[in-house]
Structures are given as structure tokens and as C-alpha cells.
Amino acid sequence: MLTARFRDALGLAAELHAGQVRKGTHVPYISHLMAVCAVVIENGGDEDEAVAALLHDAVEDQGGAPTLERIRERYGDRVAEIVAGCTDTDVTPKPPWRARKEHYLAHLPRASRSVLLVSTADKLHNARTILADFRACGEEVWCRFKGGREGSLWYYRALVETYRAIETTPLVEELDRVVTELERLAGAPVPTTSS
């Protein structure tokens, strides 16, 4: 069961991301955090993993290292380590996009199972959203992302391959299905090695 600690984290996530919306939309950012949290819980995540899912973007988007320490003090080392493992940078301005993504991919094989659960849930929700938005508005969706069409498709396919090399899970397989459909609709070459 989720405790008052979870409710506190939901409140903190809403506070930290209060003025933030999803890229290129008017959708409050908290919707993404709640969706990632739901995926984590539905896939067997415990309370620490659920709390980390709610806060997984807080360091990157809302204050860097001081925010991570605030999370550590409030929710403990395990939650802070999961959040840190899901963060591709804690500095502003952010390093170049491609270098950040390559660094993130490179760290995943050493990540804990908890980091992998929250990370995969995050990327799955992002990919689902991109696919839905692509269906609604077409190619203009790529203008929202620093990597554009080619970079975004590269990154999501690289995520699938990296996660799968670590362990094949239902979440990884679902991410593969979503990314494959996105590649198909975007006219990208679809890998023939997916299962």
C-alpha cells in the first residue's frame, strides 16, 4: 500500500513542476509524472520506485543538485539514487543533446533494477505521447525536440536495444512495439531484429 510519503511526493512533484507543460502542448507536466508512476506501480514497483517516478525529472528540470539533496533528505537515499539514475544532467545550461543521450545510454547497463524500471516507464510514456501526437499533427511533432526526427528516432531505437541487451521485460517489449510503430509512420527503416 502507498503511504502518506507517496502523497507527499505527489504534492512535491506538483509544486516543482507547477509552471511546466509538455513540449509543444498546453498539457500540464504533472500528467507525465503521474503516467510514469502508474506504469511503475502497474509493473510491480514499490513505494520508493513510485515516489522516484513522480520525481524522476525534478533534478533535470527543476533545480539540479540542490533538488536531488532535497529529495534525499525528504525520501531517503534509495529514492534519490533512482532519481539520479534517471537524470541525464543536473547542470544548467544543459550539455549538447546528443552527448547527453549517449552518456545516458552508456550508464544504463550499470543501473539498478529500480532505475531501469523507472527509466523504461518514462521512455515508454514519452514514446506513446510522441506517437499519439504524430498521429494528430504529423511531421511538425519533431520540431518540439532538440534531436529532431532523426535524432529522436535514433534515441528511442537505441533505448530499446540497450534495455533489451540488459533484460527483456514486458515494458521493453511494449516500448519496442511503440517505437516500431512510430518508425513505420515516420517512414524510417524498421529494424528486422525485434521480437
Q: Which candidate in 48, 49, 57, 60 is catalytic? A: 60
Contacts of 15 (CB under 8 A, 6+ apart): none
Q: Where are the alpha helices (DSSP H) in 17-144?
A: 30-42, 47-55, 58-61, 65-75, 77-85, 97-107, 113-137
Q: Are 33 and 122 in contact (CB under 8 A)?
A: no
SS3 breakdown of the chain: % helix, strand, coil, rounded to 5? 70, 0, 25
Judge if the upstream peptide bond of residue 191 is cis by omega within 30 degrees of 0: no
Our answer to whether residue 133 is catalytic in this structure is no
Q: Which candidate in 8, 46, 47, 61 is catalytic? A: 61
Our answer to whether residue 48 is catalytic in this structure is no
- Enzyme catalytic residues: 60-61
